[in-house]
Chain A
């Protein structure tokens, strides 16, 4: 293989031999052997879905090696020990804008988090953060949350986070995709400066921009999971005899793929002017103080391709959303086809095709199902529907993948599907928000050929935003937007002429630099700082204080600082989402009130009626006994058996009494006589209570009549609650239940959310261990739960008047253990499930019923049967309930409750251990 042969001349930072990787049946990498030279910038180029990202994630150790060997920095990445050893020397920035960053954390907090993960002390972190932010120009925005940064700034921050531990190998996966030209240029200047300061560092980059690849030292061209060629850019140009890398790459592809490839032909727009299709006048959008779009006016004519350029977060998407009616403008007016945009106007919407930045495809539906659904929603008639779907599938090259799911397709094909979906109803107008971001050059060309065809042949009006200059050149007119305002609008050639620049890119960067310079002082307008502080340089790593090998080994297993970095992260995220913390605190108090007062052991006001066939003073005496008690409420007398049956069926009566004819006479004569009583058994617990009351009252009546009490008396002593007050029994039982439900649900999303949002990759590629990760995430929730607990016992003692009578210290110790077990249950669900919905559902199933029904709140665990009895015996709530009742009602302390503490002590390591086993340290 060429790669291996050439690479072996240089010292290699990574050696790959026969590496293969498959996702299910799809082969992402096919027996690749390759040496990546050290100390260079190595570029991976090729279309989407050829295995670039997979290869990088294998080298970074984020993904488990399936076939072959991957050696990085002198050891096999299949060995966990080696990964652990070298991961502090590797930095990995995954694909996607700010994917491994935490959106609610500020720049400084994100950097601090990564510094702690690599075990840096406070002083060291502060020095490095100051250095890095100064040299990248992020210093003025250090307190801004990552989620509110522009794309270029996000990528700079991602780079800073990657560089905080002075890596020897820097892996960047498409770091500039979706970033505007100015930020892109600044990004690569920054990398150059960093390399100048650290010449030994190896950099491996995947990119879709061929013009960027021309700057790299050494390139790997990939296609369909294989390496096409390797070498320096001049070597590749020479070998293929081409002038640009883009052409060189096409030259390297196999013959059958090259066939029919030609440059995109730009058909000039016919001179005759169409009517105005899209019109915006003074369109403005404010989010609080922030002006996202500032008086934007534009007019787009029929059949025109109108380009929208600008850095991320400059207001392009917001403008498009206002045009589609998704957002109501704060000021100004938008008109489509001469009609004001109205969210309720279904007729206009039928003529618009919209493609948003996020692929708004249903990932659970196949390509065909997606197309058909959208066609139906746009009321394409059923008889033309199959033809229409086949037609767009053909046109967008999707015919072969109709039964695939969107997520299994490479980005370029997904993008085509999105466009096909937007086109299936033949709209007169298309609004496309960065449709080609992250798509490789070949797929982009195909895409533009289709768009030009639509505009010229079908006279479709197209409003498109993009970051690519060669795409901008294909538009009829373009607008450059910055900080919510349109800087300039003209034809591409006109703009280059006006600015006196060589290329459109230079013209744009010129306009942007002017704009940024002019607004440098305004906080809302400043997006980038074009002039990084020149004095700051990235100082080489200062070695951490020496530690003994023993200490180092121990640190490898558990380092409190790394754990605390996740604690801090989780605590900050919780603080940034005050609604959730408030819901947790207010919720438990609210539920304590509802349940404390709502559940009662006293069953009162039970309805009863009498079928009195005797109608004597004796029978009335019997009735009065019942009616006079506070437990029963008398309803109108029963007429006959039919009436009795009807009213019991309707649930009007809980109890029906029948007094036989001649009752009074027989009682007086001492003859045996029988009173009938029917109890509604549909709710057994209520029926049981009714039965107890009736029997009690009957014997009292008897005793009163005969004047003789029974043979023996039974004195009942209700212990721990002699007056049988409901609150005293309920409150100590409700606290443990709430202390399980809420903390478990809080913790249940902590891990699965990182999985869904992508930041889980930080666990894969940093030295943090699974235990540090889990315990770190758990701690803030334990803290919140304990705060909850203190609030609840304070309320119990004051408002409810149920103070703990035993050893409060024992109660608190129990609560600490119990909340740890409760949050560990949430974590277990979170590591086990793959989606947030499943985690919520699973946690609800695993907590609600066992806590309220199998833990002894209503029926003691010892009385349960079957599986429920087993669950009840091992469930943490059972044991804390015993502690809570013991301390609250029975005046107990530590020495009385050892058998309740022990199960909790066992549950915590078991639950955490299970979570650690289920949590993967690598993507598989």
Chain B
């Protein structure tokens, strides 16, 4: 193995990339605007949830309840008639429709425990659940407060003091921006190495390298260090200037430790890119493979929905995916301020996954390149 070959070939990769202005524009876009847009898409877990209220009571209490729904959690409630409710929910205009029955205030005051009906559009996934929790709380709170004013009751004897750590306001953008950076890192590193390998195969330049005193190991290592470096720099820039700067997300832990984790992640994903580049025989096939790989990596890594919500089997299978560990270590380091003593299992997992993928690609490299075209 010649270290100089690895260095020289890597510099060649960097120069090639510098000659493709469109790719550079896309890289810059994906680490700045794309991150910013995604992070600011949903500022809170529950944001501007659309709600309609059927007020059949028209009492001070029902007015009080209506007045308790306001932005940013909820859109100002739309007051509708019972007849309109079904059509509006069918059309997806509102996620929630709250029906306050006639005589509600009277029944509450009389202690008859009247029921309010809350209709939830269950197709709306997460909003349906977090939103209905909030609505229950708000309605109960308003009813209690109303009664207290009337009767002067004491607070409930056992209070639950809820505190959210690491992100007190549950600002979704904090986590969202990091997940976005992670997604871009994964996608870009796979495309840069995999598609570039296929382009070299289609243009015959890789074949030329193989008759020179250069080993496949050197060629692969050169691709990995150079492309990983590009993505790592982009990732660091994005984290410091977009996430910490523009989005003002407070980072608890060490950025350097996070970047070290990112470097290990890149080792795994660039190896995966090369592996896909040896599996696909043409660029269109690579495009298909990319979608097949990216969707699970993005959706099931724990960045989009919590890992706890996945079936046991999926959770176990996804342990083989580098993104799962990267998302976990990013959460731990950046938000919980964890150190290496905490995240070492993730680091180790990334190394193991990377070594396996690298070994697989190395085994396929010479065999498949010779079969091309």
Contacts and interface: CB of A to CB of B under 8 A. Distances in A.
B132 interface: yes
Interface in B134-179: 135-137, 139-140, 143-144, 147, 154-168, 170-172, 174-175
Contacts of B291: 587, 741-742, 745, 844, 848
A757 to B, nearest CB: 9
B281 to A, nearest CB: 7
A791 interface: no
Interface in A659-706: 667, 670-689, 691-692, 694-696, 698-699, 702, 705-706
Contacts of A604: 308-309
Contacts of A577: 282, 284-285
A857 B125 contact: yes
Interface string B45-59: 111111000000000
11 contacts: A354-B211, A361-B205, A682-B167, A682-B335, A695-B162, A714-B117, A733-B125, A841-B23, A841-B195, A858-B304, A865-B41
Interface residues on chain B, size class: 35 or more
Interface string B110-132: 01011111111111111111101
B75 interface: yes
A749 interface: yes
Contacts of B161: 674-677
Given A362-B15, A889-B123, 4 more contacts: A373-B11, A587-B292, A685-B305, A741-B295
Nearest to B155: A672
B63 to A, nearest CB: 15
Interface string A388-416: 00000000000000000100000000000
Given A364-B15, A691-B133, A863-B48, A678 B338 contact: no
A291 interface: no
A603 interface: yes
B70 interface: no
Contact of B8 (A377, A606, A896): A377
B175 A899 contact: no
Nearest to A868: B41
A892 B88 CA distance: 12
Contacts of B163: 676-679
B183 A377 contact: no
Interface of B: 2, 4-5, 8-9, 11-12, 15-16, 18-20, 22-23, 26, 29-30, 33-34, 37-38, 40-43, 45-50, 75, 87, 89-92, 95, 104, 107-108, 111, 113-130, 132-133, 135-137, 139-140, 143-144, 147, 154-168, 170-172, 174-175, 180, 183, 187-188, 191, 195-196, 199, 203-205, 207-215, 281-292, 294-296, 298-300, 302, 304-306, 308-311, 313-314, 318, 328, 331-332, 335-338, 342, 366, 370
B154 to A, nearest CB: 8
Contacts of B318: 598
A651 B328 contact: yes
Interface string A361-401: 11111000100011011110000000000000000000000
A741 B295 CA distance: 9
B212 A715 contact: no
A642 interface: no
Contacts of A860: 49-50, 92, 95, 124, 127
Given A583-B288, A860-B124, A649 B16 contact: no
A358 B143 CA distance: 80
Contacts of B43: 865
Nearest to B23: A838
Nearest to B111: A711
A373 to B, nearest CB: 6
Given A583-B288, A594-B314, A896-B90, A649 B342 contact: yes
Nearest to B296: A594
Contacts, number: 459
Contacts of B289: 583
A326 B208 CA distance: 9
A813 to B, nearest CB: 18
Interface string A756-773: 000000000000000000
A845 B336 contact: no
B336 A595 contact: no
A599 to B, nearest CB: 5
A160 interface: no
Contacts of B336: 648-651, 680, 682
A718 B170 contact: no
B298 A712 contact: no
Contacts of B298: 848, 852
Interface string A343-356: 11011011010101
Interface residues of A, number: 151
A867 interface: yes
A157 to B, nearest CB: 19
A836 B119 CA distance: 49
B212 A721 contact: no
B160 A677 contact: yes
B367 to A, nearest CB: 9
Nearest to A749: B284
B219 to A, nearest CB: 10
A172 interface: no
B144 A868 contact: no
A203 interface: no
B314 A679 contact: no
A885 interface: yes
A689 B308 CA distance: 11
A875 interface: no
B344 to A, nearest CB: 11
B90 A675 contact: no
Contact of A885 (B22, B123, B133): B123
Interface in A574-628: 577, 579-580, 583-584, 587, 590-591, 594-595, 597-606
A684 B175 contact: yes
B214 A377 contact: yes
Q: What are the 5 A-B residue pairs with the smallest beta carbon separation, nearest first?
A: A360-B208, A868-B41, A681-B167, A692-B133, A682-B335
A785 B306 CA distance: 31
B305 A599 contact: yes
Given A579-B285, A685-B305, A712-B108, A836 B199 contact: yes
Given A343-B366, A594-B296, A716-B118, A859 B281 contact: no
A377 B9 contact: yes
A284 interface: no
B158 A675 contact: yes
B295 A709 contact: no
Contact of A684 (B172, B180, B204, B288): B172
B139 A714 contact: yes
B290 to A, nearest CB: 6
A178 to B, nearest CB: 15
B139 to A, nearest CB: 6
A692 B130 contact: yes
A202 to B, nearest CB: 37
Given A591-B295, A849-B183, A718 B191 contact: no
Contacts of B287: 745-746, 748-749, 840, 843
A772 B160 CA distance: 67
Contact of B281 (A374, A579, A866): A579
Contact of B42 (A600, A676, A678, A863): A863
Contact of B158 (A583, A673, A711, A749): A673
A437 interface: no
A717 interface: yes
Nearest to A710: B140
